[in-house]
Amino acid sequence: MFIRKVIALCLLLVPVCSSTLVHANPLSPFGYPPFETVAIHANSNNKDYELYIQLPKSYRDTKANYPFIIVNDTSFAFPITNGAMALMGGAVVKEAIVVGISYSKGDDRMVSRTRDYTPTFSPVDKNGNSSTARMASGHAKEYVDFIERQVIPLLKEKYRIDPKKSVFVGHSYGGLLGTYILFKKPHLFTDYIIGSPSLWYDNRVMFTLEKAFSKAHSRLPVNVAMFVGSLENDYYPMVTDLLAMEKQLRSRDYEGFSLRVEVLQGESHHSVFPGLLSKGLMATLSLEK
C-alpha cells in the first residue's frame, strides 16, 4: 500500500520537477549565464519548439528596452552567441536579449533544420544530409511565419523590446534562411548576420529570389553582414557564390541598404562561425551605432 502511494506520488511529483527543470538554469549563481525556456507550438507547421531566452546582465535593474538577437541551430549558435554577448554586451556592443529557437521536438535535428531553413523542395542537394532530411526540405515559409506571427509577438509581449534593433543570426542552412528572409520579409529584422550561406542550394535559387525582389522593390532598409571562410570553396563554391551575391546586391543600389561582406582567411565551414559571430555583432550592435 505504501509502495503504491510512493509510486503515485512520484508520478505526481516528477512533472513538477521536470517543469522546474525547464524554466531556469540553476547554475547562474556560479557564473554560467542564466536563461529562460519557453515551450511554444508553431501553428504554421504544427510542430513544438522551445525558445531559449538569455536576458542581458542589466535587464532586471533597468526599465530600458533592449535589442533582440534571434539564432537558430541552437546546438552551437545559442551557446556561442550567449557566451559572446556575456563578454561583449555593454563593453563593445549594446546589451541584447539572445533568443534561440530550438530544433522541433522529437525530430532528428538534420530533418528539423532542413525542413525549416530551406526555401524550396530540393531532394537532390546531398551535402551530407540523409534522404529523410532532404525529402523534408522546403518549408522555410512556414517556419518564417512562425517567427513572424508567434515568436516575435511573444518577445514583444513578454520582454522589453527595442523595436528599432533586431538581429537575425544564421550559419550554413541558417544563413540560407537569413537570405530567404532578406528577400521575402526583410522588415522582420533590422540587421542580419549571415554566415556561410548555402547559396548553392537548389540551383542557386537565392539569386532568383533576389532578382524577383529587385523587380518589385527599390528599398531594402536593413544592415547586413555576410561572412564566409576562405577555405569554403572546397565542396560547393561558397566563397565564389557569396562574392557573386555581393556583386548582384551592390548592383541594385537599394535605398537604405547597408552591406558588409568579408572572407575570413584560413577558416573552414566548421571553424568560421565563432569568429564571424563576434565580427557580425560588432557590425550590427556596435555601441557607436
Give the residues lining the site for its own copies (CB under 8 A): 2, 5-6, 9-10, 13, 16-18, 20-22, 25-27, 29-33, 37, 49-50, 52, 73-84, 86-88, 91-92, 100, 102-103, 105-106, 109, 266-268, 270-275, 277-279, 281-282
Closer Cβ to its own copies, 251 or 265, answer by number: 265
| Dist CA 95 CA 30 (whole Å) | 21
- Least distance CB 192 / its own copies (angstroms): 18
Closer Cβ to its own copies, 219 or 270, answer by number: 270
| Dist CA 230 CA 217 (whole Å) | 32
Closer Cβ to its own copies, 40 or 209, answer by number: 40
Q: Which of 252, 241, 239, 174 is nearest to 211 (CA)?
A: 252
| Amino acid, res. 146 | F
- Least distance CB 187 / its own copies (angstroms): 28
Q: Which residues pair with 264 in a beta bridge?
A: 229
- Least distance CB 170 / its own copies (angstroms): 13
Q: Which residues contact 261 (CB under 8 A, 6 or more apart)?
A: 226, 227, 242, 243, 246
Closer Cβ to its own copies, 81 or 190, answer by number: 81
Q: Burial code of 178-202, b = ≥16 C-beta within 10 A, e = fewer?
A: bbbbbbeebebbbbbbbbbbbbbbb
- Least distance CB 47 / its own copies (angstroms): 11
- Least distance CB 232 / its own copies (angstroms): 12
Closer Cβ to its own copies, 89 or 186, answer by number: 89
Closer Cβ to its own copies, 22 or 64, answer by number: 22
| Amino acid, res. 266 | G
User: Phi-psi region for residue 180, left (φ > 0), alpha (ψ -120 to 50) or beta?
Assistant: alpha
| Dist CA 254 CA 147 (whole Å) | 25
- Least distance CB 143 / its own copies (angstroms): 15
